Chains A and B, each alone.
Chain A
Amino acid sequence: MPSLKTFISIHKSVKVRPTKQFFLLLFGIISLFAQAYMHNYNIVYIMMFFLVSVAGTSTYFGMKNLHPLEVAFASQERCFAFEKGVFSVAITNKSDYALYDLDFSYQTQHHKISRLEANQRVHLHFELLAKSRGHEQIDFISVSSLFPLSHEIKSRNFLLNKELLIYPKPEGVSLFDSLGMHDAAEGDMGDFKALERFEQGESLSRVNWASLAKSETLMKKEFSYESKQKSLYFDFERLGGETESRLSQLTLWILECESHDFAFTLSLSKRLYDSKVEGVDGVLSLLALYEL
C-alpha cells in the first residue's frame, strides 16, 4: 500500500481525462439505475454500485501504472535541417511491479509498450525533423495509458528540456565533382598515381593485392587526389551564394571529408578551424550556430 505522500504524488503527476468509453459507462450506469429504480431490484443496484466503484478505483491503479516511470534523454544522432534525425530516450520502470499498456509519444509519433517489467529499462527512438539549423528544443515526452479500464485515459508528461544541435542541411556540389575527383574510395583507373610501400596502420582498402601475390611485398595504391588531402581548405567567405547555401555546401564537404578520412581546414568568421583540432562535430557545430 502506498503512503499518503506517494498517493498525493501519484495524484499530482498523472492527468486523467475521459474517453468515448466513459460515455458508454455513463449510459450503462443510467440503464442499470433505470432498471433498479423502476423495480427496486437490489441486485441491479448492487451491480450499479460495483460499476461506479470499480470505475473509480481503477483510476488509482491506472495512475499508479504511470507513476514509477522515469524518462530521460539518452542520445541523438547528427541531425540536419530538413532531414529526419533520430534521438532516443531511456524509459525506466523504477517500481517493483510491471507496468502495462504504455503509449509514449513525441509530437505525432507513438511507441507502444504492452508490458514493462519491474526495474526494466528500454530505449525508444523518435524521429526529429528540424526546419532550420541551430538549436531545436525537445520539451517533453508524453506517456498515456488506458490501463486498466478504458473509460478514461491516464497521461503524464516528462519534461526533457533538451536542446539538440541541428546542423545545416548538407547540399550543394560534391567535393569530388568540384575538385574533379571520383568519390569511390578505391578510386578509378584514371586516378591511379603510383604504388607505394604499405605502412602499418594504413587502411587495408589501399592494399594492392595483386602486387602482394606477385612479389609478396605489401604495397598500397596511391591515387592522385590523395596527394591533395593535406591541402583541403574551405573558406566560407570565398564561397558564393546565400549564407545558408554556403553553410549547406560546407556541411556537405565536411561530411564527405569525414567519410574519406580527409583532414581539412575551415575559414569562418576570419578564424581558421582545423578538423584535427576541433573534430568534425566541432566544426559542424560552428556551422550550425553561425550568426545565431
Chain B
Amino acid sequence: MMEALHKLLKVKRPSKMFLLDMALALTLLPHLFVFDAFLVLYLLLALYLIFKKEYRVLHAYFLFFGGVLAIGGAYFESYNLANFSRMQFFVSFVSAALLLAVVLQRHKREINFYLLLSPALFMLLSFFFFDTIAMLFYSIFAFFILMGLLIWSRMDATLAELLRLNSLLFLLSMPAVILLFIAFPRISFEKAEFGFRGDLYTSNFFDGSMLVDGRSFEAGERVVMEIFFKESLPLENQLYFRGSVLYPKSALVWEEKDDEPEDFLIQKEHLIDYDLLLHPQGKKWLFALDMPTLTPNKSNLQKGMTLRSENEIHKSKRYSLQAALHYRLVSNALGETLEVNATAYPKTAAYLKNITAKTPREKADALLAFFTSLRLAYTVKPYDLDAKNPVDSFLFEAKNGYCTHFASSFAIAARLLGVPSRVVSGYKADYTSRVENYLVVKEKDAHAWVELYLGEEGWVRFEPTATAFKNLDIEEQKEDAKEKEGLFHRVNLHYMYVKYLINSWILGFDRSKQVQIVQALLSDTLYLLRFVGAFFGVVFVLFLLAFLIQNQKSRDPLMQAMNQLLKLLEKKGVHKESHESMEHFLLHVQDELKVPMKSLIEAYHDAKYAMQNAALQRVLSEIKKIRAELT
C-alpha cells in the first residue's frame, strides 16, 4: 500500500490530454447525479469510443446522432418551450448539450480552447444543482485538483512536488478567502428556489391532530429541527416548542380549530433570540419556542400563538426567532375552552367532586395532586382504551399511557372543574441532545402538554405527564440513556453541530450575519479581540502548515553543505561569481582569506565527480574546519 502510494507520488507529468481528461471526469461527477439514464448510457458509450485506439469518422457521426437522440430521450417528457424559462430545466439542458459538444471534440483527439474551457463550464453549471455541505466540500476539492492539473501543465515535476506546491498555494490563499468571505458585501436576495437537494427528506410525523387511543407511540430518530440559541440555552423545563393548539372534536380526537379564541401576549420577559433550522416536512407548521414574540417572513401568527409558514416546507428553512420565557398570555373569549360533557366521563366527574378548591390556581394544583394520587404509569405502549370514554378508561382502568393520554385527560378534567383548558402539541426538546448552545430536536421528542387559563395569570403551561409515578419503559429508557452517553451518540451530535455551523455560517451566510458580526465588533471589545485573535490564530496555523510542507530543499547533501559555506564566505566578503567553477572560487578564497582549501577541493571533486560516499563526510569535516578557522 505504502509502496504503491510512494510510486504514485513519483509519477511524472502526464500528457496534456490526460490532464484534461482528469479535469473533465472530476467536473462531470455531479452532473451524473442529474443526468437522465439516456445521457449516462450515452456517456458510457462515448467513453468506449473515445478510448478506442483508432479514430473513425463513422464513430464521430454515431456519437453526434447518438447524443442528439440521448438528449431527446432525456428531455422528451418534460420538453416544451415554456420549460426553458425554468432554471433547473434550462441548466440541465445546457449541461447535456455541453456534454455532447465535449464528447465530439474529445473524440477528435484535438485539444482546442473550448475543450480546455469545458471543465470550468461543467463546474459552473453544477453549482446550480446542489447547495449542500457535500457540494461545498466537493467544490473546494475539485477546485484544488483543477488548479493542480493546471499548474502541472506548466510544471515539469512529480506528483509529490505538484501536491506540495498546490497545497502551499491553497494554504497561503486561505487568509484572503476567509477575509473576503466575511467582508465581501452580500445582497439580501432570497436564496434561489430551484436546485436538486441531496439531503432532502420529509417528516410526516406531526400532523397537527391528536388521537387518544391505545396505539403505541412510535417516533424515530429523524431530526425535525436544529436550534442555535444566540446567548445561552434555556432551562430544560423551558424547552417547549409549540406546534398546534388542540381542542376536543370527540372523545378520541383532538384537533385545531379555525375559530379558536384569540390570544394576546400582554407581558413578555426573559426574551431569548435563537435561529431555527427546520427540516422539510411537507407541511406548514413552524415550531417556535414558548412563547413566540416575532413572526418571521412568509409566516403567520395564529390565534393560539402558533406559527404557520405561508407555504408548505419542502426544503430546510432557517428562521430567526425570539421567545419570551416568562409571559402573560390572555384571551378574551374562553367559551369553547370550557365545553365538556360531564356525563361522558362519569368516573372522573365523580372523583373531581371531592375537590373543593376555589381559585383556578388551587384547582389546577389539586388536579395535579389528583393525577399523582392515581399512580398512573408512563409507557409508549399503553393498554387498549375504551374508545367511548378514553378519559375514565385511562385514569381508572388502563392507568398507563403517554403524553397524549395524560394531556387530554388533564384538559378534560380541568374543564370538569370549570377551568378553561386546551392541549398544545409540539416538541419538548431532550436536554441531552445539545452541544453548548446548539440543540437538536428529533421526532421522538414530539410531545403534548396542557394550558389552563388561570384567571389573571392567563394561559399557564402544565405538564401532566410529569405526574406519572413510574415509567414502564424504564428498561428501554435505560438503554436509550446508555446510548446517549455512548461515544457514537456524542460523535453524532458533534457531527450534527458542525454540520449545523457549516450550514448556518457558510452556506447560509448572508447580509444579516455580516451586520450581526459588524455590530458585535463595534459594540463588544471582547468579541473584537476574540475575532482578531481567532483570525490571526488561523493565519498562524496556515502559515505554520505552509512552512512545514515547504520542504523543497535540495536533496543533494553536498550542495547543501557547500551552499552553507558559500553563504558564510559571502558574509566574509568573498562572492562566488556564477561563471566561476567551485575549484577556481575556492582557490580565490584561499588567496584572499589565507585559509587552506586544497583538502576541501579534493574532497569536493571526489564527492561530486567520483561519487564517493565517504568523500561527503570529508567535505563536511573540511567545511567544519574552515568555519572554525573563519569564525
A binds B: yes
Residue numbers of B with Cβ under 8 A of A are 117, 120, 123-124, 127-128, 131, 135-136, 139-140, 143, 147, 150-151, 154-157, 161, 165, 168-170, 172-174, 176-177, 180-181, 184, 186-187, 189-192, 506-510, 543, 546-547, 550, 552-556, 559-560, 563, 577-579
Q: Which residue of B lies closest to A158 (CB)?
A: B578
In Å, the complex CA distance between A97 and B168 comes to: 14
- Complex CA gap A148/B578 in Å reads 26
Complex CA gap A73/B580 in Å reads: 11
A70→B556 CA distance, assembly (Å):
19
- Asked, given contacts A118-B556, A119-B559, whether A42 binds B140 with beta carbons under 8 Å apart, the answer is no
Q: A39-B192, A40-B189, A119-B563 are in contact. Are A98 and B157 (CB under 8 A)?
A: yes
Give the distance in Å from the alpha carbon of A115 to the alpha carbon of B156 in the complex.
Answer: 6
Count of A-B contacts judged by CB separation below 8 Å:
144
Smallest CB-CB separation from A121: which chain B residue? B578
Contact yes or no, B181 A40, CB < 8 A: no
- The CA-CA distance from A191 to B52 in the complex, in Å, is 72
Given A42-B509, A43-B127 in contact, is the A50-B579 Cβ separation under 8 Å?
no
What is the bound-complex CA distance between A38 and B509, given in angstroms?
A: 15
B154 and A56 contacting across the interface, CB-CB below 8 Å: no
Distance A262 CA – B506 CA, assembled complex (angstroms): 86
- Could you tell me if A31 and B579 are in contact, using CB atoms closer than 8 angstroms? no
On chain B, the residues within 8 Å of A39 by CB distance are 189, 191-192
CB-CB under 8 A for A57 and B169, given A43-B131, A47-B139, A97-B554: yes
Bound together, the chains give a CA A97 to CA B556 distance in angstroms of 11
- Given A40-B192, A45-B181, 18 further pairs, Cβ under 8 A: A1-B550, A40-B191, A41-B127, A41-B192, A46-B181, A47-B127, A49-B177, A50-B143, A53-B174, A71-B578, A90-B578, A96-B560, A100-B155, A101-B154, A101-B155, A119-B554, A119-B556, A148-B165
Q: How far is the CA of A79 from the CA of B131 in the complex (A)?
A: 68
Query: A residues within 8 A CB of B131?
Result: 41, 43
Distance, CA A146 to CA B187, complexed state (A) = 36
Docked Cα-Cα span, A39 to B509, in Å, equals 12
Whether A72 contacts B579 in the complex (CB less than 8 A), given A42-B508, A49-B176, A54-B147, comes out as yes
A143 close to B (CB within 8 Å): no
Q: With A and B bound together, what is the CA distance between A44 and B555 in angstroms?
A: 41
Nearest neighbor of A92 in chain B, beta-carbon distance: B578
Which of A43, A57, A70 is B172 in contact with, Cβ under 8 Å? A57
A206–B154 alpha-carbon span in the complex (Å)? 58
* Nearest chain A CB to B193 CB, angstrom units: 9
Residues of B within 8 A of A53 (CB): 173-174, 176-177, 180
> What are 18 A-B interface contacts by the 8 Å CB criterion?
A37-B187, A38-B192, A40-B187, A41-B191, A42-B181, A42-B506, A43-B139, A46-B136, A46-B140, A54-B147, A72-B579, A74-B579, A100-B155, A100-B157, A118-B559, A119-B559, A149-B151, A149-B154
- In the complex, which residues of chain B have a beta carbon less than 8 angstroms from the beta carbon of A61? 165, 168-169
- Knowing A61-B168, A90-B578, the reply to whether A1 touches B547 (Cβ < 8 A) is yes
